[in-house]
Amino acid sequence: MRLDGLANAVRAVNYRRNHGSAPVEHVWFVLGLDRGRIGDRSLEALVSLVGAGPGDPMLITLAGVRALARADVVLFDALVHPALLSHARADAERVFVGKRAGHEGIRQDEINALLLSYARKGRVVCRLKGGDPLLFGRGSEEAEFLRAHGIAYEVVPGVSSVLGATAYAGIPLTHREYSSSVSFITSSEHANKHESAHDWSKLATATQTLVLFMGVRRVRNEMQRLVDHGRSPSTPAAAIEWGTFARQRVVVGTIADLADRCEAEGLGPPALVVVGEVVTLRDALQWWDRQPLARTRIVVTRPRAQRAQLASMLAERAAEPLEWAAIEPCGADEPALRDAARRASEFDVVAFSSANGVEYFFRALADEGLDARAFGRAKVACIGAATADALRRFGLRADAVAKEAVGEGLVVAVRELLGAKVEGARVLVPRAARGRDIVVRALIDAGASVELVRAYDTRVDREGLAPLREALEEGSVDAITFASGSAVDAVFDTLGHDAAQLLSPVTIATIGPVTSEAVRARGGVVTCEAKAASDRGIVEALEEHFRSARDG
């Protein structure tokens, strides 16, 4: 299967989720699937036991994504990253079947019953499990149950939490100089066992590296067992909490003091414990938590269809993106936009001030049965790189891109295209209904004939912003990003009279000076501003800020 085919499939699924118009059949085609079969095997009653990986949503396998994309029903565990569910179809049923330590959750027999019920109804089921389904999970028990009831199933391996967490912590499990053997031990055994099945007299010294799953809840007891059975108290040991998630924490010590250190740091499950000389390599090999944005929780307020790139860039830098859309674009003056789109070739320049403007303009073209050829002799100017990228997706390359991604920069770009022929030139400006008038006024003042059309409007996404106030009150937000004045107004209006106070402890990052001014106008304080008006510019501004804060 080609990687670009998988990427197209995921885009199709996400597009359908966001816009409700991309046919799901496209997903089956680009993944080489038939809706009802994989190879010669019927999918009418298939259950896929899928390893979701250790936490970081990028660590799921291609086979896992494929299983998600074709599923009618997804049953997912507590440690499955929410972003993975975006790979499922918009109409797929999503059922949480997770359990947390210390909290009563759904029982395994109830999960089994759900799997059987859905399969007997002919549904394609993805049973999404954290880590690998067969390593200290209940995947083998579920497979046995399905087989006993005549249900077809498959197992899709996943990156185990032990491999992911130790790699992200910079602790190798083996090393030619320190360890050539490793044991995996679970501290959570079957509830019916009255005593541990582990022979600690052998396990304590059997291998150079020991990994204890679920070990942080019993860390004091387990470390004492190792000492009692011959392991030196001075042996290096580490506990890794929330491995590969943005909230990952690592506590390093020895067998003798690890329990005290974990208690002092308040470490809790999910976590695993690594014992052995390999732990000493963390100082040299740690990489994930040395990144400037490591362990920061950053709100992405971009609309749902436009937030993926920024969220991905933040996640790649060890931050946890909180994807809470502030605004959503919607149609404005559609008849006027369609009329202007039909007449695109009559203008000397069409000037786009946003990617949304491009999107809605080309929708209008499509409604009229037209495409990029409708521009004819008209030249095209864009306010910045993101808008130019949006144009390219529709097969059109901008003739001019503003060097400064603000209205004033777009005016300069248009005037450069027109040269000495500004007087009497016809310029079409498709823009937001409540956009700035700077472009229109400046071009009219220069002698151009400007037609302004409201390509789209924005509405506050109150559902998207619903978690924000609680997160701010809990102090669980480190930064918030704004890419438009509309998003600023939406957030401040939603939070209400005390918005500025709630946001005062939070790093506020903006895409440029216009957006920064919108923040200040609402009483907020801008912490950092992108030098280049793009998602990358926002990320670089955040990295510079947090790097300076940590170094200072």
Q: Is the dihedral of CA 168, 173, 178, 184 positive or negative?
A: positive
Structure tokens at 396: 């059109």
One-letter amino acid of 374: A
**Contact in structure between 153 and 143 (CB atoms under 8 Å):** yes
Looking at residue 136, what DSSP letter applies?
Answer: S
**Catalytic position from the list 34, 56, 72, 77:** 77
Omega within 30 of 0 (cis) for the link into 329? no
**Catalytic position from the list 72, 99, 257, 493:** 99
Three-class DSSP category at 125: strand
Q: Which of 445, 441, 418 is nearest to 429 (CA)?
A: 441
**Known catalytic residue: 99?**
yes
Q: Which of 370, 335, 310 is nearest to 534 (CA)?
A: 310
Structure tokens at 409: 């920069």
Residue length of the chain: 552
Cβ neighbours for 54, distance < 8 A, ≥ 6 positions apart: 130, 131, 159, 160, 161, 163, 164, 165, 243, 244
**Environment class of 268 (CB within 10 Å of its CB; exposed 0-12, middle 13-18, buried 19+):** middle
Cβ neighbours for 551, distance < 8 A, ≥ 6 positions apart: none
Cβ neighbours for 455, distance < 8 A, ≥ 6 positions apart: 332, 337, 356, 357, 360, 361, 364, 430, 431, 432
Three-class DSSP category at 337: helix
> Rounded to whole angstroms, how far apart are CA atoms 518 and 488?
7
Residue with tokens 């086979």: 63
Q: Chain centroid to CA 132: how far?
A: 21
> Rounded to whole angstroms, how far apart are CA atoms 49 and 64?
9
> Rounded to whole angstroms, how far apart are CA atoms 128 and 68?
8
**Contact in structure between 175 and 278 (CB atoms under 8 Å):** yes
> Rounded to whole angstroms, how far apart are CA atoms 517 and 522?
9
Structure tokens at 56: 């970081």
**Known catalytic residue: 77?**
yes
> Rounded to whole angstroms, how far apart are CA atoms 70 and 68?
6
Q: Which of 156, 121, 469, 199 is nearest to 326 (CA)?
A: 469
Q: Could you give the angle at the alpha carbon of 270 between the alpha carbons of 268 and 274, nearest 5°?
A: 90
Structure tokens at 512: 């440029």
The stretches of 97-218 forming alpha helices (DSSP H) are 108-120, 139-148, 161-169, 200-206
> Rounded to whole angstroms, how far apart are CA atoms 101 and 214?
10
List, by residue number, the catalytic residues: 77, 99
